[in-house]
Structure 1
Amino acid sequence: MKKQELLDLGIDEETVKAVIAIHAKDIQEANAKTAAAEQARDDLQVRVDGYDDQLAEIKKSAGDNEELKNQIKDLQSANKKTAEDYQNKLTEQQKEFRIESALRDANAKNPKAVKALLDLEKVSVDGDNVIGLDDQLKNLQESEGYLFGDKQPSGAKKVFTQGNPAGGNPDKGIGDAISDKNSNLTEKLAENANKGE
């Protein structure tokens, strides 16, 4: 999201600054979550590497002891499974984060409701790319448009081009509505003046 793009949409500069500030805060939070997840992954990898080194040393010193070798194999398998489980969990977290970001960018009014309508088995993450989500979101926006807000950023002013926002005849403009209200007020004042005579 660039400042000039918002200005080109006709949004005033103060509103654009507010939108950019909110967007920057969201990006900082997302970067912090990603950094924390990457740090946890790196810490786990260091531990896994340490365990592998320890197991290699034990295996060397075990010699021909078959039972000890079997225990080492079991430990290696458990260690490998722990690393795989952690990697799967990290990948799933990245997928969830990317889906939530896409729903926010698509202006989903209720992200949980929209997410429930998505086939998440068909969505995957490949590096920075989310595969299989865009088409599903476009289809939902067409078939279930009420679940999504308009593209207008919050704080932007809506312009009434026709109709009466104050109620009354929708075919009349706002000037006609004010004129009608003034006419009604004049009639009421005349009625009250006649009653007072």
Structure 2
Amino acid sequence: MNKEQLIALGLSEEQADKVVAGFGQMIPKSRLDEKIQEVKDLNEQITDRDKQLEELKKVDAKGLQAKIDELQTANETTKKDYEAKLKETQLSSAVKLALAGKVHDADLAASLIDTGTIELDKDGNVTKGLDEQLKTLQESKSFLFVPEKETKTNLKGTKPAENSNGGEGTVNIGADFAKMLNDRGAAPSNENNPWG
């Protein structure tokens, strides 16, 4: 989380500076999840390689070269699949991180983005391809996006009632009612009085 994101969450610039100075640049959870998945995948590959080595010990000398070729092909395929999965995870995380705070549902909006045209830098940040898609998506499905700034409307209506004091002092309804009755000269009858 950086200074701009902290300010967007409602902190003042001074508070955001203090947080960044105290903790430095924070790593987003999506980046941590990405690294945890990478470690799990690497551990699985190590386990697979150990099994392959055990199988190699059982192979006879004549079939050894064929088995080695087979395993090399399988390892290359596994490596390509791993790299593709890693790239897909990085793209997904980068897109969701870029969409955070801009859309109501980052998962839904991310599913509408073509990740094939998006490019990432070495740190996993989106460099190009996303902004154009976001503009198109915002035009066609604007309900997904959080409004950037609410515009203040000038409310128009009737003029509030003025007090009988000519606009001076505070309004005292009880005193005004008593004055009105005194001006009439008689107390109201209890005939239509719901409290009488």
TM-score (norm 1): 0.55
- Conserved in 1, the CA contact under 8 Å of 2:100 and 2:106? yes
- Conserved in 1, the CA contact under 8 Å of 2:92 and 2:110? no
- Which of 88, 92, 99 is the aligned partner of 2:88? 92
Alignment of 1:75-114 (within 5 A): 75-105=71-101, 107-114=102-109
State how far apart, in whole Å, the 1-side matches of 2:145 and 2:119 are.
Answer: 23
Counterpart amino acid of residue 2 in structure 1: K
TM-aligned CA deviation for residue 140 of structure 1? 2.0
TM-aligned CA deviation for residue 111 of structure 1? 2.8
C-alpha change, 1:132 and 1:160, in structure 2 (3 Å) is closer
- Structural RMSD (CA): 4.5
Give 1:30's aligned residue: 30
Question: 1:148 and 2:145 equivalent?
Answer: yes
Task: Spell out, residue by residue over 1:95-130, the C-alpha distance to the aligned partner (whole angstroms, 9 max, x if none).
Answer: 11111112214x211334423432333234342242
- Conserved in 2, the CA contact under 8 Å of 1:104 and 1:111? yes
C-alpha change, 1:74 and 1:141, in structure 2 (3 Å) is same
C-alpha change, 1:92 and 1:4, in structure 2 (3 Å) is closer
TM-aligned CA deviation for residue 132 of structure 1? 1.4
Give 1:168's aligned residue: none
Give 1:134's aligned residue: 131
Instruction: Give unmatched runs, 5+ long, in structure 2.
Output: 164-172, 181-187
Counterpart amino acid of residue 3 in structure 2: K
Give 1:172's aligned residue: 157
Instruction: Give unmatched runs, 5+ long, in structure 1.
Output: 153-157, 164-170
More helix by share: 1
Structure 1 or 2, whichever has the larger Rg, is 2
Give 2:67's aligned residue: 71
TM-score (norm 2): 0.56
State how far apart, in whole Å, the 2-side matches of 1:29 and 1:86 are.
Answer: 21
TM-aligned CA deviation for residue 92 of structure 1? 1.0
